[in-house]
């Protein structure tokens, strides 16, 4: 989008007023592929005369095949070509300089610190699409973060397929150095890490969290499973005991730590006994937040050819059992916030006295929200202090002390 703006293109508010429609696609599981294809098909139907570009991971993964089978897209642009979009479309008269448009809710931005992944989990198509891990340099990331802070961003979410691997494609892990460098910036902000592979959790970062509250103690550790045999087949090397020990260590070092995890059910060979052991792990782990996905059989991955594929119906049942079991655990944990005064990032105004926002325990888009009551006007993108007075479902209700 920045390249396009640089070339004089202007972002349309809706496809109705656009000259070109770009569908930036996802392709790592079937549901995502279908959603991306549907976006192309529905836009072609609605806008028969407009140019439609299918960009991103779906084009990367199935480019040659789609060239023949998807005439509804005028052009495919794979992930390596995204920045060349301007060469394809040409420049247009208009503005001169473009900078990264901010698409997240006010006050928050994602900063990608690496691309690709070298963990090669046997169910995952991401290394096939994105390739091996490629870390950005620390100065490059810091420059982007400084630019975002200058534009009023309060929360920087450092993202990567596995941020614990940051720098492993060079001398060795550099996450600690990256965080140290970012914390030298003398401003008020939050840094949130998104996705740490639990098999190589970088323990040295915990002391940075203890020293500096700008690193929000929120850890997203996608365990995927807890049964040793299943994890082994997934090319992951933990088990229920090592993962419980990790949680104990994090919570020991940071008593207010919030932990989110993701489970994958229906992996080939997952038996009832394996699933029951996952349920036991869920009870013992007492996660604050949990997401659960059904296995998607992806061609090209090692698990594609594994025997004993689990029926989709069984996987869906297991997913719903895990999700139901999580509800009281998450609610109990959220209740701990009631009565506490806490910083809230304001994201949206709902009315003159009602706003939506998030506290550190709520990552953007995936966790619950915080409803803010304030008699004075609040500005989205800023941080206010409020007292939590109740919980509604997975949302907290806060009144601002003004
Ligand atoms: S660590 Fe994540 S992105 Fe990397 S291969 Fe495993 S599941 Fe895929």
Whether residue 61 is found in the same domain as residue 155: no
pLDDT of residue 81: 78
Mutate to test the pocket of ligand 1, among 126, 159, 166, 267 (most ligand atoms within 8 A of CB): 126
Whether residue 283 is found in the same domain as residue 179: yes
Whether residue 51 is found in the same domain as residue 189: no
Whether residue 348 is found in the same domain as residue 329: no
pLDDT of residue 2: 81
Task: Look up the CATH number of the domain holding residue 393.
Answer: 2.40.50.140
Whether residue 213 is found in the same domain as residue 294: yes
Whether residue 280 is found in the same domain as residue 384: no
Rounded CA separation 216/178 (Å): 15
Whether 29 maps to a domain, the answer reads: yes
Whether the CB of 29 sits within 6 Å of ligand 1: no
Query: How many angstroms separate the alpha carbon of residue 117 from the centre of ligand 1?
Result: 6
The b-or-e profile of 2-16 (16+ CB within 10 A means b, else e) is: eebbebebeeeeeee
pLDDT of residue 266: 97
Whether residue 166 is found in the same domain as residue 230: yes
Whether the CB of 121 sits within 6 Å of ligand 1: yes
Whether 102 maps to a domain, the answer reads: no
User: Which segments within 302-380 are labelled E, that is strand?
Assistant: 341-349, 354-358, 370-373
Query: How many angstroms separate the alpha carbon of residue 265 from the centre of ligand 1?
Result: 16
**Per-residue pLDDT tens digits for 97-122:** 456 778 888 999 999 999 999 999 99
Classify 312 as helix, strand or coil: helix
pLDDT of residue 93: 52
Whether residue 244 is found in the same domain as residue 373: no
Task: Look up the CATH number of the domain holding residue 75.
Answer: 3.40.50.12160
pLDDT of residue 95: 44
Whether residue 236 is found in the same domain as residue 364: no
Count of domains forming the chain: 3
Closest CA to 119 of 106, 109, 110, 128: 128
**Per-residue pLDDT tens digits for 138-187:** 999 999 999 999 999 999 999 999 999 999 999 888 999 999 999 999 99
Whether residue 142 is found in the same domain as residue 275: yes
Classify 13 as helix, strand or coil: coil
Do the bridges between strand 20-25 and strand 289-294 make them parallel or antiparallel, or are there none, so unpaired?
unpaired
In the listed set 335, 367, 389, which residue is the last one of a domain according to the structure?
335
Whether the CB of 220 sits within 6 Å of ligand 1: no
Whether 98 maps to a domain, the answer reads: no
Distances (CA, A) of 382 to 209, 305, 348, 373: 22, 50, 10, 15
Range(s) of the domain holding residue 318: 108-335
Relative to the CA of 127, which ligand 1 atom is closest? 5
pLDDT of residue 325: 98
CB count, 10 Å around CB of 371? 19
Rounded CA separation 132/117 (Å): 5
Task: Look up the CATH number of the domain holding residue 124.
Answer: 3.80.30.20
Whether residue 184 is found in the same domain as residue 72: no
The segments of the chain whose pLDDT lies below 70 read: 91-99, 401-402
Whether residue 149 is found in the same domain as residue 80: no
Whether 28 maps to a domain, the answer reads: yes
Whether 97 maps to a domain, the answer reads: no
Query: Atom 6, ligand 1: which residue's CA is nearest?
Result: 121
In the listed set 59, 89, 119, which residue is the last one of a domain according to the structure?
89
Looking from the CA of 36 toward its CB, the CA atoms found within 13 Å total 26
pLDDT of residue 339: 96
């Amino acid at each position: 989008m920045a390249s396009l703006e640089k070339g004089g293109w202007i972002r349309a508010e809706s496809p109705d007023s656009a000259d070109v429609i770009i569908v930036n696609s996802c392709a790592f599981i079937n549901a995502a592929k279908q959603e991306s294809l549907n976006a192309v098909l529905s836009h072609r139907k609605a806008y028969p005369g407009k140019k439609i570009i299918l960009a991103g991971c779906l084009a990367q993964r199935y480019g040659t095949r789609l060239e023949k089978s998807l005439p509804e897209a005028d052009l495919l642009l794979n992930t390596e070509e995204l920045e060349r979009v301007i060469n394809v479309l040409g420049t247009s008269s208009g503005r001169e300089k473009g900078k990264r448009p901010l698409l997240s809710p006010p006050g928050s931005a994602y900063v990608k610190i690496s691309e690709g992944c070298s963990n090669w989990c046997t169910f995952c198509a991401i290394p096939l699409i994105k390739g091996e891990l490629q870390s950005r340099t620390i100065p490059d990331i810091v420059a982007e973060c400084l630019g975002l802070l200058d534009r009023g961003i309060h929360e920087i979410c450092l993202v990567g397929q596995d941020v614990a691997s940051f720098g492993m494609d060079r001398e060795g892990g550099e996450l600690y150095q990256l965080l140290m460098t970012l914390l030298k910036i003398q401003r008020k902000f939050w840094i949130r890490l998104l996705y740490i592979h639990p098999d190589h959790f970088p323990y040295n970062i915990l002391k940075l969290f203890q020293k500096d509250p700008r690193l929000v103690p929120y850890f997203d550790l996608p365990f995927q499973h807890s049964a040793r045999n299943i994890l082994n087949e997934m090319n992951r090397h933990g088990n229920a005991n090592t993962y419980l020990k990790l949680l104990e260590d994090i919570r020991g070092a940071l008593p207010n730590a919030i932990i989110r995890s993701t489970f994958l059910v229906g992996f080939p060979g997952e038996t009832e006994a394996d699933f029951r052991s996952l349920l036991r792990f869920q009870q013992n782990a007492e996660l604050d937040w949990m997401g659960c996905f059904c296995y998607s059989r992806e061609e090209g991955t090692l698990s594609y050819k594994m025997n004993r594929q689990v029926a989709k119906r069984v996987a869906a049942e297991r997913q719903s059992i895990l999700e139901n079991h999580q509800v009281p655990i998450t609610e109990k944990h959220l209740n701990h916030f009631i009565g506490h005064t806490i910083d809230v990032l304001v994201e949206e105004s709902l009315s003159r006295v009602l706003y939506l926002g998030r506290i550190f325990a709520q990552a953007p888009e995936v966790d619950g929200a915080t409803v803010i009551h304030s008699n004075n006007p609040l500005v989205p993108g800023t941080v206010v202090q409020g007292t939590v007075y109740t919980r509604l479902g997975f949302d907290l209700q806060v009144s601002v002390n003004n």
